[in-house]
A and B are shown apart, each in its own frame.
Chain A
Amino acid sequence: MNQGGYERIEEYIPIAQPSAGTLARLDALEPTDEAGDPLDALIVAIETQVAYLGKKKWTRNIVVVTDGENPIEVKDLDGTVSELEEYGVNFTVIGIDFDDATFPSKEQDKSPIKVENESWYTKLNKEDRTYAPTAFIGTCALALREIRRPDIKVTGTTLTGTTLRLGDNDSRPDKAMQINIKTRSETDSEDEKMDVDEDENGVPKEVTYVQLERDTEYYVDPRDHNSDEEDVKMEEPDEDEGLSNKVDPALEQVDKDDRVRGFKYGTTYVPCPDGRLDRLPTKHGIDICGFFPKKNFRRELAMGEVQYIWGDPDEAVQQVAISSITQAMYEKGVMAIARWVPTDDKDPKMGVLSPCIGTDVDCLLWVGMPFADDVRKYTFASLDHLVSKKGEEITEHPYIPTENQLEAMDNFVDNMDLMEAGDKDEEGNRGPWFETPLSYNPAIHRIKQAHFHALTSDLAINPLPPPHPELLKYWTPPSSCPQTITGCHRRDGHVHAKDDDDDIFLLDVKPRASRVKKAEPASSQSKAADETEDESEDEAGAKTKPTSTPPPKNDCGNPLPTPAPSLSPQINPGRAPKLMSRAARPRRKVELLEWFEVLRETCLKEDEIDAWNTFLKELCAKCTTEPGNCQFWDEVQRVGRKLSLISDQEA
């Protein structure tokens, strides 16, 4: 229990990559009755780290986890702090049940010694940084919250040296250009991984899972390819392939060593024992081929990951050379066409170089572009130019949007604009919503979460909790961005076009901007319904909802009592959500609809027009927003006039 002369301090788990075993060991940790001194522990930690790392220049972290309930002997603190400084250790204290400064909360009923210790630890983090220069103090709760957040693994892709060329450097070096550059990928696809496959092997008393090994088997099909059999085989669905262990019985397994390498040219076999034909001789480097205006760049042709190109960081002349080209390209508004050979005799790639003016450095960005072979030219029917059998241009057709539809779509696009839907900056201005540096790959982080969870929990009784909200924050449009698209009619899960003479266009768009009340009463039922939805949706966001309402009906499945005329004053928007949840049950739906009809009539008679109209709007909002019940709202609309808003005229 004594390490290096320090009492009750032990190196419990040697420094190593953590594994499932690490967690198991931690789980098995048992405390002693007597306390060790945290400062002693810190000294041992520093020494252990120094012994392990030697002169390696790694990032060093030391984390103290404590509840602060035990005495600290404050001795030789300066020496320890200067050691932390010397090795550049990032020092963190995680206090269990400490006061949380970031999420202001004070813990109650603390022992005097804890209060004392906590204030001592907190001093380490004071602004004057008297003690540890890089100390960070936080509560355990905060640490647990933070650890669940998606965390980006910082990958240091290495810089690769090559040259940027213009012209013929071999025979005419005076008049050609050659700059030493370093490249590094800017974007680099990360894949999610779930390493190992295991086999369940049922044994009564305990279950053993065994890590599996991968093996490859080789087969040939000895059948004649032109026989009819092949046709049959092709039509077999390959559904089970990859899941089942079935092998086509006609296949013959062959030995790995009996295989010969070669290529196929159609059905012709071209032997090639080396497995490779001669490669095109190339010399590594990036050759500039020419420049073209940036505005003509076709963004959709970009093929792969983006690379940075800097002048060699060790040679100022090379940096200036790159900087001058970058600035000149930026000023002129051009990009360069370039050909990149990664290393000698590797396949060349074509791409473009785009200037990038940074705060303190100028660089070029590269992205690959397609070769002629990579572009497919498919023909698509024109969306605008339809020609009749007589050879005449058709201007009105269900495929061609009308003026009204175009206008409605313009409004929709304006409504869903994200340019000022993001978070506020320091000056209170809203920026664009969605930034790539904050959008996490859900698969990577979800699988990571699953890994951690499975290590500490039994999935049978403690299943994986839902993903961190940060992972899903861009999955729905921001609330400031109303999706005011209404009026589409869903039947059988399809959106159907209405008859053309109906004069109401399909997928009717009713944006907020055009919400001018029509003077005449709604001529058709669906128009009335559209207006209803439109307005209520806008109001739904602003209104705070009352919380309780007397139940309009008993809940035992009996028919609803016919509402008395006196019921109408009870109508208030707060009832909508409750009614809605009931409407989810099919047999209640019919009852509710009937009851609504009576209610409307009552309201009309009792001059409670506003109450009904408000109620209906609220109901609509409830139905059409999450979790909602669109189906029910459709039904309400289908009833039509009897459940529509009460217009002034009708009143």
Chain B
Amino acid sequence: MPPYDEWNKIDEEEEDELQDLSHLESKKDVILFCIDCSESMLELREDPNDPKVKTCHAYTALDAAMQIQKKKVIVGPNDLVGILLFNTTRKAESTSRTQGSEIKRNCYVYQPIGPLSAPKIQELIQLLDAFREDPHELESNFPPMTDGKRVPMGDVFTSCNWVIRDGAPKTATKRVFLITNEDDPHPGAGSKQLKNSSRTTLIDLTQAGVTVEPFFISTPDKPFDVSKFYSSVLLPDSLVDEDDVDPADPSVLPESISISRIEDLLMQMRFHESPKRALFSIPFELAKDFTIGVKGYSLVTEQKRGSYKYFFDLGERMEVVTTRTVYVDEGRQAEVDRTKMVYGTSGGTGAEGEDPGKRVVKPGQRPFYSAEDIKTFRTLGREPGLKLLGFKDLSELEFGDNVKHSNFIYPNEMSFSGSKRTFSALLKSMAKKKKIALALGVTRRNTTPMFYALLPQEERVDEAGWTDPAGFHLIPLPFADDIRSAAVERGARASESVKDAARAWIDKLSVKNGAYPPDSYPNPALAFHNAQLQAMAFGEEFNPEEFEDLSAPDLDMIHRRVGNLVEAWKRAVANDEAAISFETAKKEKEKPAKAGTKRKADTDMDMDVMETEIRSKFSEGKLNKLTMDQMKPFIKSKGMSVSGKKKADLVAMVEELLTS
């Protein structure tokens, strides 16, 4: 049986039971970096980033592996990683049978597959640092096979198979990142046989549930031609995930990644770093009796800072404490069987003599609902699936209609054949007509049906070589219950001239063909946290001064470009007639009501004048002479709250504002 069937099955089972995404995190991911250590991979070359040091392909590959490990240790602390080198004459030291001790000749397990830890990553960092000191470090550690000899690729795949068999849990997603620059490992005599054995062993590997993701290094002096060897060896699923395997259709060549600039290796690996896992696989009903299959993926998910865990000291190690919630009948001091629980409104009937926590009824009466009832209330009996309701203009998808992140759907040929072309035709038609689709959907069992807008995305390749895949973005729409009314319905509006003054600086800060660039903004809070965590794990000092927040606005650039324009705009705002008349009108209106009350400080008072006065009192050390009504607007103008503050507090706040 092909392995993907098993995977699909696991997927289904989990879908039944779990409602959140935690199963994705709980499923372990195993990556075995399989790095070619041939002479050409070890050949020293200039480092384009730093002319003082040398580099080589193998170094870049190991460095990329280290970077991936550093990321994985934070994002997927339970994931397993290993490194296997091939085309090296180094042999395993240990004679006892451990992982990687019994593999094919000229393959060497540098890091056995295992959980990540600080020492494991540090070991690799030390190796990389040693190479930077002495460029022969890698060659002496892992001597390459000489005289153009190469290990048969079949042996490499078999070794990978054995290492993964010994080191990886059965249910994990297992992948081999194959990194090589040799497009024709077996030229000349016997090539056909070696090709065949490569393919056979690769099939074995695939059947063990392992995906091979090749990263081919192609340079101007050594271009990589996939058709020489790999196109007849690689299986169609080597780059796409389990849902796209179509063994019956060998006519389609798998895509493979050729890296023309070795510096891009890390970036390409990052694209493939997290295994592609479908969140859901559901039918999509376009009309009655007209259904296709789709799989949903989460392309945007908030990556949260890991929270602390509770540990228990077991002596030899610290172990994470797991929690379990139990429901207790206080009266009997006993834990309650969950299957016997029923659900309803809290509190009793309030009838005389009744305990508010209890409810007494006659036998046979049923005042509460069962867990099953509650489920149907939530789903109204709908099974997972998408149902098309119709099409609307793209402009109907409003900016404000957003509650949470979208998912991405892609056809699933395995559940309904013909899904791909139907999906493709629908996508093209909607993109052409600038339409969105409206659908009712339940993506996971026991969740509430929601309305979704389906936003078509056509395939598009960007400059960086990244391809926007073809598919639909499934955007959840808010329910009426989620929409809040505007609290402010009236406000003073700017005159034409003030708007023009704002336009002047907006023009200067606009990027002509720009867009929001997610890649430019690594989450600073997350990075700050992770940097501290890494330093603590490595036993290093963390220096917050060195931390750079890449999301902070470039203040110098802003001032250079628009400082004067902003100043002019501020003057225009202060003199805006609408503001003045609106304020006067408001006062007129409020007069009768406010008659007799203490006059408030004039909030219209020019901020500059006010600030000057406060600053002068401050420099004289006479802040106490100011009234609260004088200080309040100033503090407020700095964006701080003054409510409930006493005068002494206000003075302290002003002092702080002026000294900082």
Q: Are A254 and B351 in contact (CB under 8 A)?
A: no
Q: A401-B428, A455-B345 are in contact. List 20 more A-B contacts (CB 8 A).
A: A23-B349, A182-B487, A186-B400, A200-B340, A204-B363, A206-B361, A209-B367, A218-B310, A239-B16, A290-B514, A292-B516, A316-B579, A327-B494, A360-B489, A369-B518, A394-B251, A410-B429, A434-B438, A436-B480, A475-B449
Q: Are A454 and B502 in contact (CB under 8 A)?
A: no
A selection of 6 A-B contacts at a CB cut-off of 8 Å is A190-B479, A213-B330, A214-B327, A278-B544, A300-B299, A327-B494
Q: Mark B564-585, 1 if CB is under 8 A from A, else 0.
A: 1011011011101011101100
The answer for the CA separation of A453 and B73 in the assembled complex, in Å, is: 51
Q: Are B558 and A270 in contact (CB under 8 A)?
A: no
* With known contacts A172-B559, A302-B402, A460–B364 Cβ distance under 8 A: yes
Q: Are B519 and A375 in contact (CB under 8 A)?
A: yes
Q: Nearest Cβ distance between residue A132 and chain B, in whole angstroms?
A: 25
Q: Which 8 pairs show the lowest CB-CB distances between chains A and B?
A: A21-B350, A175-B563, A324-B494, A266-B116, A300-B473, A163-B639, A347-B525, A380-B469
Q: Are A216 and B324 in contact (CB under 8 A)?
A: yes
Q: Are B390 and A196 in contact (CB under 8 A)?
A: no
A640 beta carbon closer than 8 Å to chain B? no
Q: Which of A108-116, A439-447, A563-571 contacts B (4 or more CB under 8 A)?
A: A439-447
Chain B residue with minimal CB distance to A506?
B418
Q: Are B392 and A311 in contact (CB under 8 A)?
A: no
The answer for the CA separation of A416 and B328 in the assembled complex, in Å, is: 54
Q: Are B365 and A198 in contact (CB under 8 A)?
A: no
A450 beta carbon closer than 8 Å to chain B? yes
* With known contacts A206-B360, A444-B481, A270–B425 Cβ distance under 8 A: no
The answer for the CA separation of A196 and B31 in the assembled complex, in Å, is: 45
Q: Mark A600-629, 1 if CB is under 8 A from B, else 0.
A: 000000000000000000000000110000
Q: Which of A63-71, A99-107, A384-392, A521-529 contacts B (4 or more CB under 8 A)?
A: A384-392
Chain B residues positioned under 8 Å from A450 (CB to CB): 369, 373, 377
Chain A residues positioned under 8 Å from B604 (CB to CB): 316-317
A56 beta carbon closer than 8 Å to chain B? no
Q: Are A270 and B536 in contact (CB under 8 A)?
A: yes
Q: Nearest Cβ distance between residue A275 and chain B, in whole angstroms?
A: 4
Q: Which of A223-270 contact B (CB under 8 A)?
A: 225-226, 230-231, 234-235, 237-239, 241-245, 247, 251, 254, 258-270
Q: Nearest Cβ distance between residue A636 and chain B, in whole angstroms?
A: 14
Q: Nearest Cβ distance between residue B134 and chain A, in whole angstroms?
A: 29
Q: Are B363 and A299 in contact (CB under 8 A)?
A: no
B158 beta carbon closer than 8 Å to chain A? no
Chain B residues positioned under 8 Å from A316 (CB to CB): 491-492, 578-580, 582-583, 586, 604
**Choice from B297, B380, B506 contacting A446 with Cβ under 8 Å:** B380
Q: Mark B608-628, 1 if CB is under 8 A from A, else 0.
A: 000000000000000000000
Chain A residues positioned under 8 Å from B505 (CB to CB): 166
Q: Are B343 and A243 in contact (CB under 8 A)?
A: no
Chain A residue with minimal CB distance to B390?
A418
A572 beta carbon closer than 8 Å to chain B? no
Chain A residues positioned under 8 Å from B118 (CB to CB): 265-266, 268
Q: Nearest Cβ distance between residue A423 and chain B, in whole angstroms?
A: 15
A159 beta carbon closer than 8 Å to chain B? yes
Q: Which of B46-54, B55-63, B141-149, B270-278 contacts A (4 or more CB under 8 A)?
A: B270-278
The answer for the CA separation of A287 and B549 in the assembled complex, in Å, is: 14
A33 beta carbon closer than 8 Å to chain B? no
B21 beta carbon closer than 8 Å to chain A? no
Chain A residues positioned under 8 Å from B366 (CB to CB): 458-460
B401 beta carbon closer than 8 Å to chain A? yes
A496 beta carbon closer than 8 Å to chain B? yes
| Most chain B beta carbons < 10 A, residue from A206, A284, A347 | A347
Q: Which of B36-44, B185-193, B285-293 contacts A (4 or more CB under 8 A)?
A: B285-293
**Choice from A211, A360, A446 contacting B491 with Cβ under 8 Å:** A360
Chain B residue with minimal CB distance to A478?
B390
Chain B residue with minimal CB distance to A446?
B377
B513 beta carbon closer than 8 Å to chain A? yes
Q: Which of B376-434 contact A (CB under 8 A)?
A: 377-380, 387-393, 396-397, 399-406, 408, 410-411, 413, 416-418, 420-430, 432-433
Q: Are A416 and B509 in contact (CB under 8 A)?
A: no
Q: Are B430 and A200 in contact (CB under 8 A)?
A: no
B207 beta carbon closer than 8 Å to chain A? no
Chain A residues positioned under 8 Å from B559 (CB to CB): 167-168, 172, 175-176
Q: Which of B87-95, B197-205, B315-323, B644-652 contacts A (4 or more CB under 8 A)?
A: B315-323
Chain A residues positioned under 8 Å from B489 (CB to CB): 358-361
The answer for the CA separation of A314 and B363 in the assembled complex, in Å, is: 62
Q: Which of B215-223, B258-266, B451-459 contacts A (4 or more CB under 8 A)?
A: B451-459
**Choice from A19, A177, A209, A495 contacting B350 with Cβ under 8 Å:** A19
* With known contacts A167-B558, A244-B339, A405–B425 Cβ distance under 8 A: yes
**Choice from B290, B309, B404, B513 contacting A293 with Cβ under 8 Å:** B513
Q: Are A212 and B410 in contact (CB under 8 A)?
A: no
Q: Are B492 and A319 in contact (CB under 8 A)?
A: yes
**Choice from B402, B418, B429, B534 contacting A406 with Cβ under 8 Å:** B429
Q: Which of A289-334 contact B (CB under 8 A)?
A: 289-293, 296-306, 308, 310-311, 313-317, 319-325, 327-329, 331-332, 334
A580 beta carbon closer than 8 Å to chain B? no
Chain B residues positioned under 8 Å from A161 (CB to CB): 636, 639, 641
Q: Mark B223-253, 1 if CB is under 8 A from A, else 0.
A: 0000100011000000110001000011111
A145 beta carbon closer than 8 Å to chain B? no
The answer for the CA separation of A12 and B512 in the assembled complex, in Å, is: 70
Chain A residues positioned under 8 Å from B231 (CB to CB): 389, 391
* With known contacts A175-B559, A291-B509, A337-B516, A483–B287 Cβ distance under 8 A: yes
Chain B residues positioned under 8 Å from A209 (CB to CB): 342, 344, 358-361, 367-368
Describe B's contact surface by its main secondary structure: mixed
A43 beta carbon closer than 8 Å to chain B? no
**Choice from B232, B374, B451, B506 contacting A328 with Cβ under 8 Å:** B506
Q: Are A507 and B350 in contact (CB under 8 A)?
A: no
Q: Which of B102-110, B125-133, B300-308, B591-599 contacts A (4 or more CB under 8 A)?
A: B300-308
A217 beta carbon closer than 8 Å to chain B? yes
Q: Are B491 and A323 in contact (CB under 8 A)?
A: yes
B353 beta carbon closer than 8 Å to chain A? no
Q: Are B17 and A239 in contact (CB under 8 A)?
A: yes
Chain B residues positioned under 8 Å from A359 (CB to CB): 489
Q: Nearest Cβ distance between residue A217 and chain B, in whole angstroms?
A: 5
Q: Which of A395-412 contact B (CB under 8 A)?
A: 397-401, 405-406, 408-410, 412
Q: Are A497 and B289 in contact (CB under 8 A)?
A: no
B488 beta carbon closer than 8 Å to chain A? yes
Chain A residue with minimal CB distance to B457?
A300
Q: Are B322 and A210 in contact (CB under 8 A)?
A: no
A77 beta carbon closer than 8 Å to chain B? no
Q: Which of A119-127, A136-144, A147-155, A552-560 contacts B (4 or more CB under 8 A)?
A: A147-155
* With known contacts A21-B350, A320-B498, A381-B240, A474–B481 Cβ distance under 8 A: no
Q: Nearest Cβ distance between residue B525 and chain A, in whole angstroms?
A: 4
Chain A residues positioned under 8 Å from B636 (CB to CB): 161, 180
Q: Are B346 and A196 in contact (CB under 8 A)?
A: yes
Chain A residues positioned under 8 Å from B348 (CB to CB): 20-21
Q: Are B425 and A324 in contact (CB under 8 A)?
A: no
Q: Nearest Cβ distance between residue B364 and chain A, in whole angstroms?
A: 6
Q: Are A380 and B470 in contact (CB under 8 A)?
A: yes
Chain A residue with minimal CB distance to B376?
A446
Chain A residues positioned under 8 Å from B511 (CB to CB): 290-292
The answer for the CA separation of A437 and B244 in the assembled complex, in Å, is: 40
Q: Nearest Cβ distance between residue A632 and chain B, in whole angstroms?
A: 13
Chain A residues positioned under 8 Å from B521 (CB to CB): 350, 371-372
Q: Nearest Cβ distance between residue A479 and chain B, in whole angstroms?
A: 12
Q: Are B310 and A409 in contact (CB under 8 A)?
A: no
Q: Are B475 and A175 in contact (CB under 8 A)?
A: no
Q: Are B272 and A277 in contact (CB under 8 A)?
A: no
Q: Are A372 and B518 in contact (CB under 8 A)?
A: yes
B171 beta carbon closer than 8 Å to chain A? yes
Chain A residues positioned under 8 Å from B289 (CB to CB): 485-486, 488, 490, 624, 630
